[in-house]
Amino acid sequence: MKHPFQCIDWSTISPTTHPGITGTALWQTLQLPGLRIRTVTYSPGYLADHWCKKGHIVHCLEGSFISELDNGEQFVLNQGMTYVVSDDLSNHRSSTESGVKLLIIDGDFLK
């Protein structure tokens, strides 16, 4: 997919609320053909309600969180850190004690 130059003014994108097992996630989403770009803010005490098998590029903008794999491995990501995973390679879920703001990019290029 080719996407022409565009600026994203996140202040114009209304958030949607996604509950976790505990806490909530607020997503601001820009959906383009074959590409999804989001800022995601997890509330303090957030624990995802599912194991995700989708690929992502996740960059931590503020705070810190744990990305847990379904094999028990855990990775702490702090502000300024990034992880990348392709679809169907490592089921994962996120949690945070103190809250976090992330930039998440996913799409067809991670299949």
The three-state secondary structure class of 8 is: coil
What is the chain's mean pLDDT, rounded?
Answer: 96
pLDDT digit string, tens, across residues 43-92? 999 999 999 999 999 999 999 999 999 999 999 999 999 999 999 999 99
Tell me, what's the pLDDT at 107? 94
For the cut 90, the answer to whether the pLDDT of residue 93 exceeds it is yes
pLDDT above 90 covers what percent of the chain? 95
Residue 39's nearest CA partner among 103, 105, 94, 110 is 103
Tell me, what's the pLDDT at 1? 74
Contact 83, 93 (CB under 8 A): no
SS3 content of the chain, % helix, strand, coil (to 5): 5, 55, 40
Domains in the chain (CATH in brackets) are: 17-107 (2.60.120.10)
pLDDT above 70 covers what percent of the chain? 100
- At position 32, the amino acid (one-letter code) is L
**Taking the model in full, what pTM does it have?**
0.94
